[in-house]
Chains A and B, each alone.
Chain A
């Protein structure tokens, strides 16, 4: 059994920014290794873990996708010992002043994002947001050392260490979407003790936050019969309480909308209710904002499902998840897979 909490803490202590997932892939591979029959890396950097089923060859395949890449920053200019930067993925500039970061230069350098005093900013900025182009990173080093160690294009990751909060919750950066990597791992743990007919492809996808590159390409190699995207969704909390948000620690969401095959939604919904796993329907009227957008349209198309782990303060370095929701998702996935009959795909139908 994987110590899920320790594993997740390790995952959120690593960078692995979109397009540069090497460090995180290595840790996931190490953890998945005893749980799968085969491990490989895709051309765009996704990690593929194959756990063979007990059914007759050729077995149907299900793909579980959780993106492992993280949002972050990238150096655009070295200026008098300070670094200007841009974003990798969606970063609200308002979360940045005072954040501790790691600058991945010729060596890893600790740093802090700083908001210059008002008198150094464009006149009239006042107490409005200071735009990202006017923020700096200060490494604490003298300008000559900064110039020697840092170049334009160097990556910058958040350095916020994991923090355990009350109610068996965990806070930190990149829980979007490493919480879901942990959920897939929990599923693999459970499958190791269960008979399942189908082949299971656990995929930690790359590049989701920027291009969905992993999700668009991994299914092409694998050609799954079904795909499930597991990603975080908005938990209710300060600043987020409308209909697009779901209670923290009260179970996963099941996506419903054009990215989701309705028969798969129905199957997951019935199973979750049967297992007494609390769940909410998450309407996704246009698109899901997850790997499902890629998975669904690969090759001749794949019936796809979206499962959400509620998370507070998404895309900040203090994202917050409930461990219970992660284990619930892992359990739901494992139970679903264990119940898959060899002819499940032939039986799913579009209601006309």
Chain B
């Protein structure tokens, strides 16, 4: 608490000195490591830089169902079908998964392996990696092209805001949320979005195929 209040005092004082940028340049540099760009994964075709309108600019760390750390830029190099779900969800989320699997099945076998399928959980409290693995099993998700991941409340919020997905945690612990399927190109740029409740996945499949040729 002592160092905390000291920092609270120091910070405004420091900010007040912003005219003297030269004097605290050294300090500023020390802080920069928070915002270093992440390198694109080696699978990404263009290793130079993350596209400026890519969701890979979000660098929060997630945890995948296998317990390993996961970052959005690991989806680079292939187009990705993305949705946000939570495993205690009774109706909307299972249907979302079914519709994504419809998209998967609509692809020729040669193409299905060239696509990532990613499910991100709204529910950091209940959706542990083990719970996600159980959910995958329940829905017969076995292909290595699928990833299920959970992250901090702020990582969830940031991804949802980026994808334009509204949601709210209600008192029961459940989530009211938009059900949206998004399709990213291999650079992580959102190219197509549709209502995840729509059983007709032709448009989504076409959008995905257009990214695969």
Partners in one complex: no
Which B residues have a C-beta under 8 Å from some C-beta of A? none
